[in-house]
Amino acid sequence: MLGGTLAVALFLRLPGIAWGLPPITPQVRQSDLRSSYAFDEAGILSGVAKADVKRFDFDPREYHWGTLHSELVLLALDGAQAAGVFRTPWRAAYYNLVEGDFVKVYVVGRLVAVAAALLTVWLLFRIGGEWAGAFAAMLVAVSPSHLLQSDQVRVDVTMTALLVLTLVVAMRIKSRNATQFLVLGIAAGLVRPDDYQGDLEDLIREKFTSQRAFCKATGLSEDMLSHVLAGRKDLSLERLTKALARIGYRLRIVPAPEGALPHKQKQTG
- Ranges of each domain in the chain: 2-155, 196-245
pLDDT of 239 reads 86
Residue 167: closest CA among 205, 144, 136: 136
Alpha-carbon distances of 122 from 1, 5, 209, 268, rounded to whole Å: 11, 9, 40, 41
Mean pLDDT estimate for the chain? 84
pLDDT of 261 reads 44
pLDDT of 194 reads 54
pLDDT of 191 reads 63
Positions of the chain with pLDDT lower than 50, given as ranges: 256-269
pLDDT of 7 reads 96
pLDDT of 193 reads 57
**pTM above threshold 0.85:** no
pLDDT of 234 reads 77
| Alpha carbon distance 205, 71 (integer Å) | 32
The class that CATH gives domain 196-245 is mainly alpha
Long-range contacts of 216-225 (CB under 8 A, 24+ apart): 217/246, 217/247, 218/243, 218/244, 218/246, 218/247, 219/243, 219/246, 225/200
pLDDT of 23 reads 86
The maximal CA–CA distance of the chain, rounded, in angstroms, is 63
pLDDT of 263 reads 41
pLDDT of 173 reads 78
pLDDT of 6 reads 95
pLDDT of 58 reads 87
pLDDT of 195 reads 63
Radius of gyration of the chain (CA): 21
Residues near 128 by beta carbon (within 8 Å), at least 6 away in sequence: 171, 172
